Structure 1
């Protein structure tokens, strides 16, 4: 009761009772401790703790809750302005010493995690950005050793033992020597000592890299994370899922940082200036490619949200072009919620990628038009993502499903709007007719017609 009264006086409420998470028995998915599948849909809000006021934080969290997210990712020791206080004048550490965290700074993080939880949002909590242990680029400073990483990790683990967090180590930097490796292991060991192993742990690597590049079979790492990144117009992120799902020590896999909406395509920049920006179709393609190739969910991001770009408050440090308050409404965010609802409406944990389900056109698929097909293990349904409906005829293998061709029902789903239409079962050419004149992408749900 005293805790409740104190919370009310501080203008907060007790944490919502979000269930704890664990790796599912199939080692491919996450689930709650009650055994319910958990489709992780995250948003990268790296600078959330450091840059926003509480009022701004509520604006952000309310928007992401409404759009269908269930996780937000943020960093305790931020990349930008680490040497500057947060919105309330607080620095995270005494004299940049990880063994001396400042309680006032972390009280604000406590509050943010609590507000996220009240909205059904888990917090993907990065203890530190990677430049604090490997200043390969950025500002740093490098402040971690294995000894203070263990102490800091234990302190964090103990502080957030009973709160709905998912631990994410790394922070956009590679492991390049044994000291880096020892720091990450020590941080993970400290967290597990502090929270008793209650929470999942993953690792966020640099662009076009994979946690399994460094940790193919590490006991503390519960699920793999890769960053398909912002360098190529259509990075085949499904190849990184395939690599992880082929490891002897099978663990769930996730694209933790794909192409960000409203982010320049780095590989196409000229003289340091953007020539092409990722849009919502690019975002959808990465998401559906990854999810149907075996990911346990997906993480979305925008170039303005992760850094909370606000030209009225601070000098622009990157090529972000949209104030974060406006970027909250970019269309790709709501489309991620549409994807989550579609998947959760199916027994999605049965799906397995199947490249033979569709017959490829003569000459094969163009890389950016590559469809992604997944078939349920028991043959009860299949899902196909078509990045470009004009890429070629859609002919599926009827022997991959457990029902006869005349029993087929095809649902054509628009991943941009959520609209769908059911096609007559067994009608020759029905799919091609339904897609005629359509633009960009569609999802096909192939199942047995109801009532049989």
Structure 2
């Protein structure tokens, strides 16, 4: 193969063609051992509200933020982390290929992602490390949410930088990633905690997305991870490459993330949405240790608030896990718990109960319905949220501090109703009352006060729905 002749007056074009030639000549990696038929989000549902896997089945996006997984952990450590998250029924692991410090600090295997910080010259040894993480996740039934790069590499704004990407090399880099992981269970997440502030930023993201599409033939969905209290929809909702929206509600007590979800849910055209970075467990509120640290109660509230507002899934996060903080490593923003200990913090054990609840009833016709609640839904830790099947055959009501509430039963179906109280801490469901469907009825959760959150499940008694606790598969 020969390089096409290009005039010396076109250095940018010459560099682009040279990069394409280098990638075309790069050796093809050997096929990995086949794992299970791991579900990954491959399609959007017909009503444009939910994600479907490669077989057309509902895909519940239960993510964990492991931004520094590839950059900071060796294979033994990465395997330990991935096995735990698979055991806890997570479905997506969000991690970064080109991490914030990854261009200058080698990973434990001694590799960096790019040769000479050139996005058109990926380092094969480093990408063998990426392959290992993606393949091990696949073996465990996990989809990898791959961020091609952290945001400081296309909009420094703050952080390390440098800005490495242009529209030209972003397209080449995206095509390389798309080809390399074409047959793997991945979802592409552009962005990386930085805002799109001008047309150049948008052009870089568009080119990277187009490169990914070219490389993988459109086999994987693409989304965008924004900065705090923003949504991908703010600047990108009408982009044809953006398959679903992500917001980041941020790290503070009582952030009403349901407002971001409700705003995205109301946009046209409809696209699935979720909170990809709510308040992390063990994170100092508003980045100040003196404010106190978020705990499992906060992570539960953010999950149920978002899901009941219409989210197609949810992402959990732990401040110590995303950075894989350990003794001898400088803590970022007052991290305080070594990551192996943080691995078993209670919030990470409770997310599977939210997934189990959603999957216990028909998924694809679920709608948010705050009008189920009669009267004031409350504020802050007393907030009450509601969702139901579009046909009224079931409803979920979340009381975030055990406050009593009244439900308009006329919005449900069936002559008779039955109830369950689901404990979101343990996943245990307690059978409640059965009664005729008429008028308004008050419900009092089993306990009350901060940390005493409960989910009321109301079913049409004629439907053969199973108890809401525990995953069906």
TM-score (norm 2): 0.87
The corresponding residue for 2:379 is 366
Q: CA deviation at 1:292?
A: 1.0
Cα distance in structure 2, aligned partners of 1:229 and 1:31: 27
Number of positions where the alignment pairs a residue of Structure 1 with one of Structure 2: 431
The answer to whether the 8 A contact 1:189-1:220 is kept is: yes
Q: CA deviation at 1:358?
A: 1.2
The corresponding residue for 2:311 is 295
Aligned positions of 1:31-70 closer than 5 A: 31-70=52-91
The answer to whether the 8 A contact 2:393-2:460 is kept is: yes
Q: In the alignment, is residue 332 of structure 1 matched against residue 343 of structure 2?
A: no
Q: CA deviation at 1:290?
A: 0.5
In structure 2, runs of 5+ residues without a counterpart are 1-29, 465-473
Cα distance in structure 2, aligned partners of 1:105 and 1:274: 39
**Equivalent of 1:400 in 411, 418, 421:** 411
Q: In the alignment, is residue 417 of structure 1 matched against residue 430 of structure 2?
A: no
The answer to whether the 8 A contact 1:15-1:163 is kept is: no
Q: CA deviation at 1:80?
A: 3.1
> Cα deviation per residue 1:80-139 (whole Å; 9 max; x = unaligned)?
353011110011111101011101100010011000011110000000000001111101
**Equivalent of 1:135 in 156, 168, 184:** 156
Cα distance in structure 2, aligned partners of 1:134 and 1:420: 47
Decide whether aligned partners of structure 1 residues 182 and 281 sit closer, same or farther in structure 2, where only a CA change above 3 A counts: same
> Cα deviation per residue 1:115-166 (whole Å; 9 max; x = unaligned)?
0011110000000000001111101111111111011011111111111110
The answer to whether the 8 A contact 1:381-1:447 is kept is: yes
In structure 1, runs of 5+ residues without a counterpart are 1-5
Q: In the alignment, is residue 321 of structure 1 matched against residue 336 of structure 2?
A: yes
The corresponding residue for 1:78 is 99
Cα distance in structure 1, aligned partners of 2:204 and 2:463: 58
Q: CA deviation at 1:367?
A: 3.0
Cα distance in structure 2, aligned partners of 1:229 and 1:451: 39
The answer to whether the 8 A contact 2:39-2:143 is kept is: no
The corresponding residue for 1:264 is 284
Q: CA deviation at 1:177?
A: 1.2
Q: In the alignment, is residue 234 of structure 1 matched against residue 249 of structure 2?
A: no
Aligned partner of residue 406 in structure 2, secondary structure = coil
Aligned positions of 1:31-180 closer than 5 A: 31-180=52-201
TM-score (norm 1): 0.91
The corresponding residue for 2:371 is 356
Cα distance in structure 2, aligned partners of 1:403 and 1:76: 51
Cα distance in structure 1, aligned partners of 2:446 and 2:195: 46
Q: CA deviation at 1:451?
A: 7.5
Decide whether aligned partners of structure 1 residues 88 and 242 sit closer, same or farther in structure 2, where only a CA change above 3 A counts: same
